[in-house]
Chain A
Amino acid sequence: MKNRWLLAIASIWLAAHPARADLVAHFQNKTQADVRIDRLPALIVAAGQSPTPFLDAGPFQVAWRGKLVLPKRLRLMFSCEGGGMLELKINDEVVLTQSGVFDGKPTKPLRLNPGEHKIEISYSSRDDGSAELRLLWEEAGMVRQVIPAKSFIVSDPAEATPHEQSRRGRQLFAQHQCGKCHTASDAFGKSPMPELFEFAPILQGLGERVRAEWLHQWLLDPHGLRPDTQMPALLPEDRPTRVQDASDLVAHFLQAVKNEETPPAVADAKLIQNGGLVFHELGCVACHQRPEETQHDGQRIPLHQTAAKFLPQALIAYLEQPERHHPFTQMPNFNLTAEEAQSLAAYLLSASAEPTIKPIPPGDAARGAVLAQSLQCGVCHPGSPMSPADLPAKMEAIFQKDWSAGGCVAPPAQRGKSPVLNLTDDDRAALVKFSQAGKASLGRDQPAEYVRRQVQERRCIGCHDDSGMASGLDRWHSESDDLTAHDGNLKKRVLQTRPALDFTGEILYTSAIESIIAGKNQVRPRPWLGMRMPVFRYAAPLLAEGFSNNHGLAKNRPEAFTLDQEKVSIGDALANSKGFGCNTCHAVGELPPTAAFEVQGVNFNLTKERIREPFYHRWMDDPQNVRPGTKMPRYAVGNQSQRTDVLSGDARAQYDAIWHYLNSIARE
């Protein structure tokens, strides 16, 4: 169901942005094949690592096919970085061949007219199965750079459809925790899908967190309360005792606590108003509907049950640390202050519907404990009752069966007594397709594929643009505008746009990405933003590596950099008021920007630990080409700098000097 939502979101955005840039990548080894959609012809595979989940580790080939789209006539020189064997064909003509360690030398200029050009990049891994590839281009007026994803389009996306369906089935299998009941007889392999090890919330102390009436309703109809939940409906409607069963389970799970919560304290209006402001500032509407909204929009998580669900103090505690009882929750940690959490909770509780007061039948905790064990609650919720001896068929066994004929994935008529999973027909088809590929792929994951899944799963695109697709917040943020009406200062701020995801792995060192995702940054790169990047702590290392890998880059971090003091001096002059005046918008350490107006730039003292040099040059060369609409000025036409009196007007030499200067700035 969650994937259905994500697909719905993606399809809406895709409809608005029809020219999504992609290539079809055909992978194969001696016995296996896989096809997927890639944004870039880029790859990094270590020896012993599978190139895709559906191929064993070892030597392989991959061919990216699609079209190269040029907005105008270009005289392009191509080159590549990495190693293995490569053949680049454009319009069926071989343009570039390389083998061994790629030398990075550019080809002769190839004049290509505007429009679409057939492109095929054939690559073979090294003999040990390792692979590394980045494809670059350059022109007289354009610095050497990785060909951006927007320059590719898929010729025939249907080529990848069966494989992508299998890929999605694999994702659903992991998300729904199928392996918790259908346990594997042995380990998953060298690189198992991280999602396989996630688990549902810990239910100990639940009575201190949720209301009995809500829990009762949740047990009876989880999909009704939260349409994207992976919680199966364990008390289906055809179960005659379901209402009493639910009461017994409530009695069991809440037994340790007297859940006689007094009505929520009436928060003062100022606190509620502040909470509304926090709600808007954090961009909560990127993932949630307004708490006042009772009709589900099919795309975001509803909040109108907040007051019905949470005890007030528990909601504050949850907002402060969402992962406390559920390390794998989708809800990230925003590092709220106590004041922010209190006010946000006050707003959510006051704006969501009044708690349901409907009495529920009295339950029997002992009976509930037995029932919880029989329902195998503890399989997904650690520490809850379960009966290992009664678990269903092993994983190896179910992969021998036809999933469409019976069991959890089968249509309702054939499902039998299996739990009612929250699946659409498309989900079922994807799972069936996946089942035919076998279990092995679960143990062959790559960070690059993990991050692709997680960008959807964690709703990164709720706040960040990606590959020309507008973020959800672009669409929805105005829904909560009215909550800020009392604060006129918000309109006086510089532009509040957030960084897009397209170039993340190319822009930032892996270490910097990880710091951001894990919330380890001591200094916010963009302190002027009302929003803030939340923390996805447990996923950070793999996500960061995946962002880098998707650009054909291994995990990386800043390396020792030898400063050329002469360049530092020139760069200093160029970057500051005697030069391009970069410090107008960028702070330099403790010195604030001299006149940031409309926009502000990241403090220069963060460059050294964040920015990869190749991207820096791409950015300086033509900022609009990287980020259309950016206010970052361009200081040269081609390589002719506007400062003709410095370094002979050689723009790239000037940028190199500025790079040395930037690397000379200590964060302390």
Chain B
Amino acid sequence: MLDRSKHFRNLVMMLRILIFTMIVIHGIHAKPWYELMQIGPAWSNTFEDTYESKPRIAALKGVLLDLGENHRLLFDTETLRMVGLYQGPIRWGGTPWTGSHGELVGMSSQRPLFITPTQAGWANTNGSFDDVRPHAGHGNLPYGRYLGHYRHGEKIVFNYEIHGANVLETSARNDESLARSFHIGPRPQDLILILAESSGNFTTNDDRTKAKSSDGLNLACSAGVLMAADPKRPTRLLAKIPKGDAAIDCQFVYSRKGNAELTEKPDIVALTQGGPAIYPTIIETPGTLSTSADSCYATDSLSLPQENPWKAFLRVSAFDFLDADTAVISTWNGDVWKVKGLAGNWKTHQWQRIASGLFEPLGLKVVAGKIYVNGRDQISELIDLNGDGEIDHYKVFNRDVLITQNFHEFAFDLETDALGNFYFAKSAPVLTGGGGFDKILPHHGIVAKIPPDGNGFEIVATGLRAPGGIGIGPNGEITTGENEGTWQPVCKINYLKAGETAFFGTEEARGMLKDAPLTEPICYLPKVVDNSGSSQVWVPEKSSFGIPSGTLLHLSYGKSTIYQVLTVQDGDSLQGGVVRLPISLASSAMRARFHPDGSLYVCGFRGWQTNAATESAFQRVRYLPEQPLTVPVAMKYTESGVILTFPKPLDAELANDKTSFTASRWKYIRSTQYGSGEFSIDRPDRSAERQALVESSIEHSVHDSVSIRSVKLLEDGMSVAIEFSNMIPAMTLKLSYDLEDTQQTVLQGEIYATVHEK
């Protein structure tokens, strides 16, 4: 009996060990989330592959089609070239996926069915495929443009224009064979297309409808089009689509298993009318209403549908409202979701995945019910053609932006002004360690303005490094965030009036503003305030948010905080300071918009350095008027100091006590170094300042104490005039207050302000 019991215990123990071992092995071999996420049938990204045994940028603005069974077809939307058909696993890279800085998503090319060289996909009017773009390797072809793609179920139809002809192209794989089918509109001239490059020469049959390479690639084409080896390089196979006034349907089939056989031509036009949904499941998640009364701002949370059938990872990067009950959100990994239930009781919200595969979108704007999403490659208009809620047409709104493969090619935010112009900010391509810059193009570090019809691309500001986001004011004012780094001593809030241009400091990204002076920001933000700025938002008219309408708010991605900007007029421009609002957020503060009900919605995620407490959040901030607002709501500069205005009457004793305020100030050194230390203004250390030009000074911290000469509570009982020993320009003036209102509520805080030179 004892033995049996012992054996049983041993057996149980062995089973436990086995289960534990299996769990451990499973843990070791568990795929990372990005390998499990169903990105969708078309994925926009920058891709790398191997060409002539060397890694190359296969497509800066590529769209990768998932053709099943680990087969993927890559289309370069800039050169309008089918780059290749690959079989094998993806080599993962890219900051939004693996977190790495510098490694790209790579395509296995060990067994490509076919591949094409790095050049234009279609010949120019001279019959040449040479890169004739103003910035070789970057941008749209002068004689062609990508117009977007249609989705019909899992099928994708590319739409582009070449030499004035409208092209619809779709592809289908059958085992090791690929059929590319075209519907091409009227053609003012013959069109020459590169089909493939091989390691051996191509030969064709007499009627040029079949071709094969000496290394085993067979092609066939439908009647009406011709194939021929490139006479200059017979390892390349070209196709000719003759000019004509009528549309033409044609097909090219590739095969490495025997002869290439034409397949039934799809009705391509029908595929552009909308098709069956691929994400039909509506997911319900609970909302959480805050019951906290610790602050005058309560934060309610929507639960993100992280548990979803497609293993999609939601890091909310931008949003806008379709109506009072519905928001549309983009995620950093390329999804767009619709969420309903905002106007309800928040017991549940209903989520629908409506689009996927966009290129790291960080901006989203709804205009007259139309959804515009800003990715690294383009601004897309997302259109639901058949009313099933899911996007069928990823239409190009504007894709003039030039990009490189640098990991820091962020396209931040998307806003409009009252005239309907669109704006976004583009970061500069910093090196992987954060300092210095990679190859710079004219669109790096800019604020771009796109007219309401999408046809045009105007640069209104240059010299940005990593702005994080922008804001558009009621009068078309443009603001941007900025992140410390090379030429940016600390984070900043930049400001630009409508119709003007500005250079914001990053010399390498000076672009067209060759001789423009540096435009000083509204405010420099020391590292204790912000280490990574993002969007700004203006409090709308007739708001009920506690602070006055017309007030500017600044979001800190790095500190997961929202600041009120106390602006002070400075001639035609603005200066001022920030004070933290008592708002608690579950993730970073990336984008914010006011809802028609007066509440502020905020989204954020964690993708680079931040103190965000969760990977992502989408939340609503409500003002609780019954709780005291403990921050000043206005600030003025005087000849000798500052006047602060609080929202409620102040305790006179403390408000008239000099020791209720302390002030200090310092400056920064703008240089090629990463960020800046904090330097004395009153006792300048010239040697240290010189050194800061060539060596990191970020640990240098010498502040000047500013003597408070007098303080006086003014007649309104809510404003205090603070007189300093002297009021001089300062990149940072820190003013701390420690007061009470007449109800003995303690008002403590700090304002970090900038005082410009007059």
Contact = CB atoms under 8 A, between A and B. Distances in A.
Interface of A: 16-18, 71-73, 113-115, 465, 468, 470, 474-475, 477-478, 481, 491-497, 500, 577-581, 584-585, 594-595, 597-599, 624, 627-631, 633-635, 640-644
B688 A470 contact: yes
B382 to A, nearest CB: 29
Contact of B659 (A73, A497, A595, A599): A73
A597 B527 contact: no
Contacts of A481: 694
B685 interface: yes
B683 interface: yes
Interface stretch (B144-152, B697-705, B721-729): B697-705
Nearest to B657: A113
A594 B677 CA distance: 28
Given A114-B659, A491-B436, A594 B611 contact: no
17 contacts: A16-B688, A17-B702, A71-B662, A465-B699, A470-B699, A474-B695, A497-B698, A500-B699, A579-B613, A580-B612, A595-B101, A629-B527, A629-B701, A630-B527, A633-B531, A633-B610, A642-B612
Contacts of A585: 609
Q: Is the interface of B mostly helix, strand, loop or mixed?
A: loop
Contact of B99 (A580, A595, A629, A631): A595
Closest 6 CB pairs of A and B: A633-B611, A595-B99, A598-B434, A642-B613, A478-B694, A113-B659
Contacts of B219: none
A634 B698 contact: no
A136 B99 CA distance: 41
A497 B696 contact: yes
A468 B691 CA distance: 16
A432 to B, nearest CB: 35
A157 B422 CA distance: 63
B569 interface: no
Interface in B237-287: none
A598 B609 contact: yes
Contact of A72 (B559, B683, B736): B736
Nearest to B703: A71
Nearest to A581: B606
Contacts of B736: 71-72, 114
A492 B431 contact: yes
A635 B664 contact: no
Given A72-B736, A595-B100, A597-B101, A580 B611 contact: yes
A497 B699 contact: yes
A588 to B, nearest CB: 14
A600 B432 CA distance: 12
B586 A642 contact: yes
Contact of A628 (B558, B694, B695, B699): B699
Given A492-B431, A577-B615, A16 B608 contact: no
A72 B696 CA distance: 29
A643 B559 CA distance: 14
Contacts of B558: 633
B99 A491 contact: no
B531 to A, nearest CB: 6
Nearest to A478: B694
A578 B586 CA distance: 12
Interface string B46-81: 000000000000000000000000000000000000
A584 B701 CA distance: 27
A599 B584 CA distance: 26
Contacts of A643: 586, 613-614
Contacts of A475: 687-688, 691, 695
A633 B609 contact: yes
A350 to B, nearest CB: 24
Contacts of B694: 478, 481
Contacts of B531: 631, 633
Nearest to B561: A637
Contacts of B560: 642
Contacts of B609: 584-585, 597-599, 631, 633
Nearest to B484: A598
Contact of B700 (A470, A492, A633): A470
Contacts of B615: 577-578, 581
* Interface hub of A465, A578, A597, A599 (most chain B Cβ within 10 A): A597
A496 B696 contact: yes
A641 B613 contact: yes
* Interface hub of B99, B687, B691, B694 (most chain A Cβ within 10 A): B99
Interface residues of B, number: 56
Contact of A73 (B611, B677, B691, B738): B738
B100 A495 contact: no
A477 B101 contact: no
Contacts of A580: 611-613
Contacts of A631: 527, 531, 609
B19 to A, nearest CB: 19
B293 interface: no
Interface string B81-112: 00000000000000100111100000000000
Nearest to B529: A624
B507 to A, nearest CB: 15
A511 to B, nearest CB: 27
B499 interface: no
Nearest to B438: A492
Contacts of B702: 16-17
Interface string B594-606: 0000000000001
A18 B608 CA distance: 37
Contacts of A595: 95, 99-101, 607-608
B662 A72 contact: yes
B606 A624 contact: no
B71 to A, nearest CB: 30
B612 A581 contact: yes
Contact of B662 (A114, A500, A599): A114
A644 B695 contact: no
A16 to B, nearest CB: 5
A631 B696 CA distance: 14
A635 B528 CA distance: 12
Given A16-B687, A635-B611, A640-B584, A491 B435 contact: yes
Nearest to B708: A114
Given A497-B699, A631-B531, A633-B609, 12 more contacts: A16-B688, A72-B738, A474-B697, A474-B699, A491-B436, A581-B610, A598-B609, A624-B528, A628-B527, A628-B699, A631-B527, A642-B560
Nearest to A498: B699
Contacts of A72: 662, 736, 738
B434 A494 contact: yes
Interface in B711-753: 736, 738
B660 interface: yes
Contacts of A16: 685, 687-688, 702
B406 to A, nearest CB: 11
A578 to B, nearest CB: 7
A146 to B, nearest CB: 20
B695 A477 contact: yes
Contacts of B614: 578-579, 643
Contacts of A581: 606, 610, 612, 615
Interface in B649-664: 659-660, 662, 664
Contacts of B294: 640
Nearest to A470: B700
A635 B613 contact: yes
Given A71-B662, A72-B736, A72-B738, A493 B685 contact: no
Contacts of B701: 468, 628-629
B369 interface: no
B608 A597 contact: yes
B184 to A, nearest CB: 44
B433 interface: yes
A585 B683 CA distance: 37
Nearest to A141: B748
A443 B687 CA distance: 42
A346 B485 CA distance: 36
